[in-house]
Amino acid sequence: GAASAIAEKVSSLASTPNGSFNLALGVLAACTAVLKISNKANADKDDEKVVKDPKVKSLQMRFLMVFWLLRMADWLQGPYFYQVYASKTFGAATGNAMTWVSRLFLTGFASTALFGPLVGRLCDTYGRKAGTLVFSLLYSLGAMSTKSNVLGVLLAGRVMGGIGTSLLFSAPEAWLVGDAARNGLEGSLGETFGLAYAGDSIVAILAGQMAGLAAGTRGPSGPFELSVGFLILGGLLAAFTWKENVAGNVVSSDEEAGKDGDDNAGSKPTIRDAVKVVKEDPKIMLVGSIQSLFEAAMYIFVLNWPPAVSKAVSAYFAKFATDSSAAIATPYGTVFSCFMACCLLGSTLFGQMTSSTKVDKNGKSKAVSTENFAAGMLGLATLAMGCATLSISTSTPRILSALTSLPVLSTILSPLTALAGTVSSLFLTPGSLI
């Protein structure tokens, strides 16, 4: 019957890496769609239809098109970052692939940290539109550097990419805030940012699929080449549809803008002022510390997931291969899309569980507090990273076994040793998880 046909189709999909991850992506997309529809239905019951100001529509259209094109270019480079650099040969340079990929990875983020404060100041001084155009140029040069096998060119490309990252996360959004202030549309910023990052998740999912297609046609540098096209389109749209704005000239009238710009020219905030603000409010330091620690763990994951997934895929799907000598390809683009679909699912759950409209029949809020949700998220992330570590580590079981030989620790750690073996065997057979 229909059930057996569906089961056979699912079994067929699960026998190949691409089919398995496409199946997982479909399940994630379906779950997210159900939650989104549920959220929209609940919102429509409570909200009255409001006619949007044409000026707000125009601002959102101009910003969102550029923002999503530039974000697409950035996301396209994610799935094959490890592969494009691991495929390089550096002449007399020594070290394994992970060593050089790690160094190139670090170069980009060191560049972001070093030039980030200066880039922000330059954007405020010379214009946020100009900063967006410079991002398109630098990121294009960084992407094209992946065609080279010269280590110096690759390092220069990563430096330009790092500076570009600073611009991407400052210039477009600063332009939006400035343009909204100039036109008296500050009240629309919350909605605009919401639309931007809701759409960004969908853009990231599509980027993973497009990266896989580009890599299949042009090799691991294919997604980087494709990203240049999106950078050019985004830059052209910004150049022809955005009006320049700089810090100090975003009030509603031109006369007041000139006056305030002169008054504030010598009193721009400095890094010392920022440090003072952080010292005066410990909550800022706590939030920043939590975010920094989380992102540190995330970037460790970003660097290590491609070789880890490739190893697991090769180990499991070898039994389905008709040619045992052929390499088993890992669909990095689809895997990346699955990650991004999980991000979208998580943000959707956050919106639903923390919504202020969740009340019981007595009018008491049933919403989960942001703090409790964040604590649960961090706990789940810790568990996920721990399971991933146990599944690929060869040293963890040995360390636990050595520790359990000590009488005092034997009772405490023996269950962990068994757990490490169980998790490792489970994740080496991903078909059981699917």
pLDDT at 425: 53
Radius of gyration of the chain (CA): 25
Distances (CA, A) of 375 to 32, 281, 294, 363: 22, 21, 12, 26
pLDDT in tens, 371-397: 899 999 999 999 888 887 777 666 555
pLDDT at 141: 96
pLDDT in tens, 342-370: 999 988 888 888 877 666 667 677 788 88
Cβ neighbors of 365 (< 8 A, separation 6 or more) are: 356, 358, 359
Q: What are the tokens at 120?
A: 């922000």
The parts of the chain modelled with pLDDT lower than 50 are: 250-266, 400, 403, 408-410, 413, 416, 423, 426-434
pLDDT in tens, 75-97: 999 999 999 998 887 655 556 77
Environment class of 78 (CB within 10 Å of its CB; exposed 0-12, middle 13-18, buried 19+):
buried
